[in-house]
Amino acid sequence: MSPSPARLRARIDDAPMSRSQWSAIAVCVLLNVVDGFDVLVMSFTAAAVSAEWRLSGTELGLLLSAGLVGMALGSLFLAPVADRTGRRPLILACLAVSSSGMLLSALAGSAVQLGLLRLVTGVGIGGVIAGSNVIAAEYANRRWRGLAVSLNTAGYAVGGTVGGVIAVVLQNASGWRSVFAFGGVATALLVAAVVRRLPESLDFLLTRRSPGALDRLNALLAAMRQPPLRSMPEPDAPAGRAPGLRQLLSPARRRNTLLTWAGFFTSMSGFYFVASWTPKLLVEAGMSATEGITGGSLLNLGGIFGTTLLGLLAARFALRRVLLGYVLASVALLALFVPAMSVYGPALALGALIGLFVTGAVAGLYALTPSIYPPEMRATGVGWGIGVGRVGAILSPLVAGRLLDAGWGPGGLYLLAAAVLAAGGLAVGAFRLDAGSPVPVKTEA
């Protein structure tokens, strides 16, 4: 008799990681590296695009926001498709969308065309990020699940950091359009990597039970050095309706869903505020433009180390506690940053630490959220969490700009960001992780 899905999941959780599992996670990380480049490509080319079409600040701001709006739409409305058709097909379709958007952006003849294409590209990226984070969580065992999802977020930061260097070289040689073309080709090449190295989710195959699922399951189990199944396991619970917003907000799920949304909204608001405004606000505080850019770069570099460190800590300690520690550290560092902004050395050091903890907080939510939902609605839950977070990402830079125009100083903005993140910490502390999820994280000691 075949084990139940929950027992099979527990068996995989307790077994060492196989090469095929690490390979699937590596593909997910690579997807996030390229997505990080595709998301930030507009920032890299903003000056050149603005000069060619003589854009106003408002017009350029709309172009910068278009990709984020698309990502929110992709997370909210495409991610639920993964719970119906599979994580892998959705990722392949979204790669085609984002690659086409990038390549066509290189041919855009006006700011309006480019803005619409950035929206389309963002939709594809939103679906890829939601699907890849779910697959990374599902293929990792219990010990390394936090690291697997954290590496995805680190990959996003790596794509943004390395992408800036690539963009400078390409723009100097061939102009801003070549940067979009490079991103489109790189995204298209990932289709082959997904086809060859990224399998469908085990939990999806167990839940949806499509024709041929047993053969696919046994092939995956063999690659993971697990014994085969003689028959499809009986589901732990009867199949219900296709997942949607109503299921996420059902009485049994409403509390954690709303807390997840609050966590994503506040953490992404804080992240995109510091990522978007730190270089400018350092200049407002008395530093040179070069020093301000250096501070912003160190913040991104800190994020790479922060997400990796969070994953390593999550292998030893309860993920929720690690995440809560990251949020509280972010709040304290943002408050300390206010009096240090005008002093070059301490400001740079604190900026790097802020990047480490704020980015790590976002990574922690990516890692924690799959544990809150059962497999039949996991991509939907993660997608809606990310989508609500993207709303915060879009609003926070705009709100900061309005407050600056209203007379707020840099110190007041950083204290406001600290207060927003503190509210997110309260949401994380209120999570209930006792819902019997098939993808557990390390439990509280």
Same domain, 173 and 81: yes
Question: Quick one: DSSP state of residue 190?
Answer: H
Same domain, 334 and 423: yes
Expressed as residue numbers, the domain containing 354 is 245-429
Work out how many domains the chain is built from and give that number: 2
Q: Does residue 193 surpass a pLDDT of 80?
A: yes
The predicted model gives 350-368 an average pLDDT of: 87
pLDDT band at 439 (very low <50, low <70, confident <90, very high): very low
User: Which range among 21-30, 178-187, 258-267, 423-432 shows the weakest confidence by mean pLDDT?
Assistant: 423-432
Q: Are 345 and 261 in contact (CB under 8 A)?
A: no
pLDDT at 265: 94
The predicted model gives 8-14 an average pLDDT of: 82
- Nearest to residue 130, comparing CAs of 96, 105, 153, 100? 153
pLDDT band at 290 (very low <50, low <70, confident <90, very high): low
Measured between alpha carbons, how far is 71 from 144 in angstroms, rounded to an integer? 27
Same domain, 96 and 218: yes
Measured between alpha carbons, how far is 371 from 435 in angstroms, rounded to an integer? 9
Q: Give tens-digit pLDDT for 109-148.
A: 999 999 999 999 999 998 898 788 888 888 888 888 878 8
pLDDT at 443: 39
Which sign, positive or negative, has the C-alpha torsion 270, 273, 279, 285? negative
Higher-pLDDT residue of 283 and 314 is 314
Q: Residue 52 corresponds to which tokens in the numbers above?
A: 């060619």
Q: Are 380 and 80 in contact (CB under 8 A)?
A: yes
The predicted model gives 12-40 an average pLDDT of: 88
- Cα dihedral 166→170→171→177 (10° resolution): -110
Task: Classify burial at 434, counting beta carbons within 10 Å of its beta carbon; exposed 0-12, middle 13-18, buried 19 or more.
Answer: exposed
pLDDT at 289: 58
Same domain, 184 and 272: no
Q: Which residue, chain included where needed, has tokens 């999550």?
A: 314
Task: Determine, yes or no, domain membership for 437.
Answer: no
Predicted structure pTM score: 0.74
Same domain, 196 and 253: no
Interior angle at CA 99, CA 93 and CA 105, nearest 5: 135
Same domain, 270 and 212: no
- Which residues, other chains included, contact 356 with Cβ-Cβ below 8 Å and sequence gap of 6+? 302, 303, 305, 306, 309
pLDDT at 102: 95
Q: Does residue 10 surpass a pLDDT of 90?
A: no
Burial 307-328 (b: 16+ CB within 10 A, else e): bbbbbebbbeebbbbbbbbbbb
Task: Determine, yes or no, domain membership for 271.
Answer: yes
Mean pLDDT score across all residues of the chain? 83
Same domain, 139 and 92: yes
pLDDT at 122: 92
Same domain, 256 and 218: no
Task: Determine, yes or no, domain membership for 70.
Answer: yes
Q: Give tens-digit pLDDT for 245-278.
A: 788 888 888 898 999 999 999 998 988 788 767 7
Question: Quick one: DSSP state of residue 56?
Answer: -
Same domain, 270 and 342: yes
Q: Are 87 and 204 in contact (CB under 8 A)?
A: yes
CATH number, domain with residue 57: 1.20.1250.20
Same domain, 284 and 171: no
Pick the most confident of 20-29, 293-302, 387-396.
Answer: 20-29
The predicted model gives 16-33 an average pLDDT of: 91
Helices in 341-439 by DSSP H: which ranges? 344-368, 378-405, 410-429
Task: Determine, yes or no, domain membership for 204.
Answer: yes
Measured between alpha carbons, how far is 342 from 111 in angstroms, rounded to an integer? 37
Q: Residue 393 corresponds to which tokens in the numbers above?
A: 């990402």
Task: Determine, yes or no, domain membership for 409.
Answer: yes
Same domain, 36 and 92: yes
Pick the most confident of 50-64, 68-82, 111-125, 307-321.
Answer: 111-125
Task: Determine, yes or no, domain membership for 203.
Answer: yes
Task: Determine, yes or no, domain membership for 403.
Answer: yes
Same domain, 204 and 303: no
Task: Determine, yes or no, domain membership for 229.
Answer: no
The predicted model gives 418-429 an average pLDDT of: 90
